[in-house]
């Protein structure tokens, strides 16, 4: 039986992500939530030489990748994030609910873990992702309700500090 270490999980995640971005990329930013029986992954990547980040879930359309291949990638990535969460819990590192992963093609890699009760934040899953997108990239959702929720959340967050 394979000895699972945090390094082996990280290595598998990095390899999987690297192998499924179908262009030479420079930087990847990913937000993930793993709670109970739910998981959500959203990410953006920057092609080498480009300034703009590309929404990862547009890969099938932009690069003619089959939807089933892309979905298999997300399922496997979710499995690895669940394995990482289990590793943290079993080794008493805490039970994180979300994380932000950043990777650079040069090999630089970082993860920031969030331990808050995401269900008590007063915003839904799409709005939590929109908050992350706003804090990370500075853009707001097109949907007026989500835009208002993000701005209110940010304002209230600043007031709590």
For the stretch 92-112, pLDDT in tens is 999 999 999 999 999 899 999
CA–CA separation, 45 and 29 (whole Å)? 6
Class of domain 6-116: alpha beta
pLDDT at 161 over 80: no
CA–CA separation, 53 and 65 (whole Å)? 18
CA–CA separation, 25 and 96 (whole Å)? 28
Whole-prediction pTM: 0.90
Domain boundaries along the sequence of the chain: 6-116, 121-161
CA–CA separation, 4 and 11 (whole Å)? 11
| pLDDT for position 40 | 94
> 4 falls in which pLDDT band (50, 70, 90)?
confident
């Amino acid at each position: 039986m394979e000895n699972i270490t945090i390094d082996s999980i990280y290595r598998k995640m990095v390899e999987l992500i690297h192998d499924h971005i179908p262009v030479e990329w420079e930087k990847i930013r990913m937000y993930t939530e793993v709670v109970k029986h739910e998981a959500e992954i959203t990410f953006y990547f920057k092609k080498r030489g480009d300034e703009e980040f590309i929404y990862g879930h547009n890969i099938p359309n932009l690069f003619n990748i089959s939807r089933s291949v892309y979905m298999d990638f997300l399922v496997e990535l979710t499995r690895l994030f669940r394995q990482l969460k289990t590793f943290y819990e079993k080794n008493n590192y805490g039970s994180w609910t979300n994380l932000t992963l950043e990777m650079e093609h040069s090999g630089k890699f970082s993860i920031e873990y969030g331990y808050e009760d995401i269900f008590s934040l007063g915003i839904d899953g799409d709005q939590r992702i929109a908050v992350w997108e706003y804090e990370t990239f500075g853009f707001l959702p097109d949907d007026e309700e989500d835009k208002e929720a993000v701005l209110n959340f940010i304002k209230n967050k600043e007031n709590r500090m």
